[in-house]
Structure 1
Amino acid sequence: MGAVADRIEEKLQKAFAPSALTVTDDSHLHAGHAGARPGGESHFTADITASQFDGLTRLARHRLVNDVLAEELAGPVHALVIRARGLNE
């Protein structure tokens, strides 16, 4: 993985201590599209399962993730697909 993906994973690990976390760089699927960078690391998917998401709506879960990754979303990350689940799902 690249530096941006590593930073995303590190921040999500620190903020949520998830039981499962996968960060995927999907940039190659968006080559030539708006926001795509020549070196990649612009489009990601984050699959995360953590107890902090139990009982929250999908919107609330996304807001938590977006808050943690605000710096990346303001800079190098053009798009982020979030699949956030609680432990009881």
Structure 2
Amino acid sequence: MSVKARIEATLTENLLPERLVVIDESHQHAGHQPHFTGAEGTHMRVRVVSAKFSGMSRIDRHRIVNALLKPELDAGLHALAVETAAPGEPTNW
């Protein structure tokens, strides 16, 4: 299973999202450091709308996502961009 698929599965199971988009941006970082080849799964962007975020601050939402994805970060996910919203909140994505 790919990093992207594992992230999707973890967030779906734990956040029951209304909307979830996981974008692999690894190719945009090729060559930034010698070991960044642009290979899949090193740089990910997560966009998630979940009722579980209702009434939470942005930092608390990010903490939840980061905690859920800690195994991926520990396994080599280098960068994680997180965009969260509760249902009904405006997004620009």
Q: What does residue 4 of structure 1 align with?
A: 3
Q: CA deviation at 1:70?
A: 0.6
Q: Which residue matches 2:32?
A: 33
Structure having the higher Rg: 2
Q: Which amino acid aligns with 1:14?
A: E
Compute the displacement of 1:37 (Å). Answer: 4.6
Structure 1 residue ranges, 4+ long, deviating more than 4 angstroms after superposition:
none
| Whole-angstrom distance in 2 between the partners of 1:36 and 1:15 | 30
Q: TM-score normalized by structure 2?
A: 0.87
Aligned residues of 1:23 and 1:45 also touching (Cα < 8 A): yes
Pair 1:51-2:55 in alignment:
no
Q: CA deviation at 1:38?
A: 5.2
Q: Using the TM superposition, give the Cα deviation of residue 36 of structure 1 relative to its aligned residue in structure 2, in angstroms.
A: 2.5
Identity within the alignment, %: 35
Provide Cα deviations, 1:3-27, integer angstroms capped at 9, x if missing partner.
Answer: 0000000000000010000000000
- For residues 19-74 of structure 1, the C-alpha deviation after alignment (integer angstroms, 9 at most, x for no partner) is 00000000000001246355221000000000011111110000000111010011
- Paired residues in the alignment total 88
Q: Distance in 1 between matches of 2:83 and 2:60?
A: 12
Please give the root-mean-square deviation of Cα atoms over the aligned residues, in Å: 1.5
The runs of 5 or more residues in structure 1 that have no matched partner are: none
The match for 1:23 is 22
The letter for the 1-side match of 2:66 is: N
* In structure 2, distance between residues paired with 1:10 and 1:76: 18
- What's the TM-score, normalizing by structure 1? 0.91
Q: CA deviation at 1:75?
A: 1.6
